[in-house]
Structure 1
Amino acid sequence: MIVLENVKKRYGTKEALKGLSLTIPEGKIFGFLGHNGAGKSTTIKSLVSITMPTSGDIYFDGKNLKEHRLEIKKRIGYVPDTPNIFLQLTAMEYWNLIAAAFDLEETEKDKQIQVLANLFEINAQKHNQIDSFSHGMRQKVIVIGALLSNPDIWILDEPLQGLDPQAAYDLKHLMKQHVEQGKTVIFSTHILDTAEQLCDELAILKQGELIYNGSVSELLEKHPGQSLETIYLSMIGSKQEEEIGGRVDEQ
């Protein structure tokens, strides 16, 4: 179980997260939804300790991330919001780098690469430089790297972006299989149909604040006959109308 307690993050004068508190249970696919600038990527980068919160605490199974950073990072497979990293390496060199970071045994590494590279149809290109790949191919390389050590917790920032339909289908299937084993998948997306299809629970963020946290089924039950997309846009729109209305009243 992952717990965020009053997590705040400030970049200069901008407050990206305004006291975010929520619980992410094990054995679930947990989704973050929100417009650009809502705080999704900041939350994910805080979870993987790329960025440190200005204040507040994050716990993984009762262990504070501040105090057990390296131990916790070993349990996480992370896909960033852009695949444009380590471009001068070949795909195989990148996977070898990840395997070394996670102390993966050679036989296990080779087995995982064989399975995942074949699944995502990139095996024939694994010795090519990442810089030569399309966005979608780069995304496959990063996804394979994240899954290479078979970590307990997958934290994926817009993981389906740029993937071809078959690769997207395969990754969604892997996400479902992962939680069936009692493990955890956390991901952000702008594709609301995908969130409705995959997520057991979700958090909706708006300008650094949490406006919904709970199960997808409960949210749909509260709005019978509506899709998650319609509900989401209504919730975000209502917040915007309130803000606009408030500013008009003040003038």
Structure 2
Amino acid sequence: MLKANHVSKIYEDGTKAITDINLHVQSGDIYGFIGANGAGKSTLIKSIVGIHPFNEGEISIDGYSMKNDPVLCKKRMAYIPDTPDLYEHLTGMQYINFIADIFEVNLTERESSIEKYSSLFEMTGKLHHSIASYSHGMKQRIAIIAALVHQPSLFILDEPFVGLDPTASFQLKSLMQKHADNGGAVFFSTHVLEVAQKLCNKVAIIHNGKLVKNGLMEEVAGSKTLEDIFMEVRNESKNMDII
């Protein structure tokens, strides 16, 4: 469903943000992506969803190239950033309909999706309020509803649980699991390692722009916790820097 082959991103100042990234997210996967701040998580995610151009390699969604067919790729995915950038002069409903128009979602399908997800995330009675009046968590919920309105097969989420209360977090985790169970796929970054270990069947750890661990959860973590593995990666890097 999602393939990243030998992807590298170099910024204009010469900084290599990510180096030779290889990932394969398949139907049914919930794929966790973890790393320290500045490790390259958001850079890779923004390259996958077409926000950042990348210098080397190839990214494809359902066989379509992000470089050659970006619109077809984006129609197959939902991207939910860590900090939603919404049009705050609109109401929640206006914003969701705006996104639905972009994806050319017909009226019947959009009404069904809006009803389903606004109820799930307890936003039904708040859709006609101005986005400017929403809390951060409510803005995150609207971003989620809008991202899912076109029924995408691939979810790409960057720190999706930031700002969500326990109920909304639970509902989002349940939604991610059901989506994978129904043949979709989920790729998300998180600092909440306990959630990743319980929810994901696969995991990738990025450090200094490179994947240092990648594969099935039981193969990467074994009998250890993800926190243990993550700290081992950090300590190994520090020791190498000292040497």
- Common fold: TM-score over 0.5: yes
1:95 shift after superposition = 0.2
State the one-letter code of the partner of 1:227: T
User: TM-score by structure 1 length?
Assistant: 0.93
Q: Which runs of 5+ in 1 are unaligned?
A: 247-251
Match of 1:103 in 2: 104
Task: Judge conservation of contact 1:156–1:186 (CA < 8 Å) in 2.
Answer: yes
Q: Distance in 2 between matches of 1:89 and 1:241?
A: 51
Match of 1:240 in 2: 238
Q: Which runs of 4+ in 1 moved over 4 A?
A: none
Q: Distance in 1 between matches of 2:169 and 2:143?
A: 14
- Per-residue CA distance 1:47-76 (angstroms, 9 max, x = gap): 110111022111223332211111111011
Task: Judge conservation of contact 1:7–1:57 (CA < 8 Å) in 2.
Answer: yes
Match of 2:220 in 1: 219
SS at match of 1:66: coil
Task: Judge conservation of contact 2:2–2:24 (CA < 8 Å) in 1.
Answer: yes
The answer as to 2:123 corresponding to 1:122 is: yes
SS at match of 2:82: coil
Counterpart mapping for 1:138-153 below 5 A: 138-153=139-154
Sequence identity percentage: 40
Match of 1:4 in 2: 4
Q: Distance in 2 between matches of 1:104 and 1:28?
A: 26
Task: Judge conservation of contact 1:33–1:190 (CA < 8 Å) in 2.
Answer: yes
1:170 shift after superposition = 0.4
* Residues 11-20 or 40-49, more deviating: 11-20
1:114 shift after superposition = 1.2
The answer as to 2:230 corresponding to 1:229 is: no
User: TM-score by structure 2 length?
Assistant: 0.96
State the one-letter code of the partner of 2:232: S
Gap change, CA 1:98 and 1:18, over 3 Å in 2? same
1:241 shift after superposition = 2.0
- Per-residue CA distance 1:168-210 (angstroms, 9 max, x = gap): 0000000000011111111110100011011111110011111
Q: Distance in 1 between matches of 2:221 and 2:47?
A: 29
1:87 shift after superposition = 1.9
Counterpart mapping for 1:21-32 below 5 A: 21-32=22-33
Match of 2:169 in 1: 168
State the one-letter code of the partner of 1:129: S
Task: Judge conservation of contact 1:8–1:54 (CA < 8 Å) in 2.
Answer: yes
Q: Distance in 1 between matches of 2:26 and 2:107?
A: 32
State the one-letter code of the partner of 2:5: E
SS at match of 2:58: strand
Q: Distance in 2 between matches of 1:199 and 1:18?
A: 24
Task: Judge conservation of contact 1:41–1:81 (CA < 8 Å) in 2.
Answer: no
User: Which one has a bigger Cα radius of gyration?
Assistant: 1
Match of 1:91 in 2: 92
